[in-house]
Amino acid sequence: MTAIAIWRNDEVAGNPSLWVVADSKVSGSGGQQLVGDAVKVMSLPIICRRPDADGFFSDAYFVHTLGYCFAGSTLMGQNTYLGLSILLSNLMSTTSYIPSIEDIACQILAYLKVSFRDYSSIAAEQSLFETALFGYCHSTRRLEIFVFRPKLVKDVFEVSIKAYQDLQTHDFVYLGDYKEELTQKIKKAFASKTVPGRPIAHAPRFVIQDLIASDESPTIGGDLQLAIADRFGLQPYALCKPYVVGQPAAYFSFLGREQTSDLTSVGEAQAMLKGMV
């Protein structure tokens, strides 16, 4: 399955943010690794257009990105993201309406219900998943998280939604395997003391990073994915890793791959992610 944590970080004065970390492993039956560099945290574009002087809906008056992540069925998670990203990047309004995250969450809930109903009739329990929408809401001016999960109602799974709209520092949401165990580990990590190189504000990152490194879980592994959502949108991060531990030479890694020039060069442009040690 997966391990994902989303939490509120207030390290930067005046700019609170939501951090998210996830592993990148997709497993088959028995925990066998199928994909080691799976993307589970994605940027969901929200683009609203209004009529221009000629009446065409070509004036983009609102552009923002939110976070979208999933645990469980990879097919459900990735396919719903692809469909939603097309719809939500083509919103139109004659009144220049800016949708709230709650507006978007309600649309996503309707979409997930239909997709899950169709896929679950074929894949049964293999279709089970968890999804979260998160980021900064320009309508309410706060950080919000919406979590979608199938819930058993009268022996039938239905997609439910839960909102987290009054987040305080270090409040977090966990999606994935070993839910009770990892939730307790993250709580304990937030309550502990800072050690060099491991600030308390980043605690969930180190809990999941250590789990990946331990190679103890058959369903959690690959590499660490990290992204930050704030009022400017969602920003994915690369990880800065040493070639040899203890020596200064280092490289940027994304999904476990060194970001060499052939992977980042796009003509004269360059794909450049912010990096974090």
Burial of 165 (0-12, 13-18, 19+ CB in 10 A): middle
The answer, yes or no, to whether residue 98 has pLDDT greater than 80, is yes
In whole angstroms, what is the distance from residue 230 CA to residue 15 CA?
A: 7
Which strand (E) or helix (H) includes residue 101?
A: helix 101-123
The answer, yes or no, to whether residue 124 has pLDDT greater than 80, is no
pLDDT band at 123 (very low <50, low <70, confident <90, very high): low
Angle at 120 (CA atoms; ends 103, 73), nearest 5 degrees? 75
Alpha-carbon dihedral 197, 200, 201, 203, rounded to 10 degrees: 90
The answer, yes or no, to whether residue 13 has pLDDT greater than 70, is yes
**Range with lowest mean pLDDT among 7-16, 212-221, 223-232, 254-263:** 212-221
The answer, yes or no, to whether residue 72 has pLDDT greater than 90, is no
pLDDT band at 190 (very low <50, low <70, confident <90, very high): very high
Q: Output the pTM of the full model.
A: 0.91
Q: Which segment, 121-130, 149-158, 198-207, is predicted with the most confidence on average?
A: 198-207
Beta bridge partners of 253: 239, 258
The answer, yes or no, to whether residue 227 has pLDDT greater than 90, is yes
The answer, yes or no, to whether residue 154 has pLDDT greater than 90, is no
pLDDT computed for residue 76 by the predictor: 86
pLDDT computed for residue 30 by the predictor: 65
- Correct CATH for 3-236 of 3.40.50.1220, 3.40.50.2300, 3.60.20.10, 3.40.50.720: 3.60.20.10
pLDDT computed for residue 126 by the predictor: 67
pLDDT band at 148 (very low <50, low <70, confident <90, very high): very high
pLDDT band at 29 (very low <50, low <70, confident <90, very high): low
pLDDT computed for residue 84 by the predictor: 96
pLDDT computed for residue 127 by the predictor: 67
In whole angstroms, what is the distance from residue 43 CA to residue 69 CA?
A: 9
pLDDT higher at 152 or 84: 84
Instruction: Read off the pLDDT of each residue in 53-73 and give the average, rounded to a whole number.
Output: 92
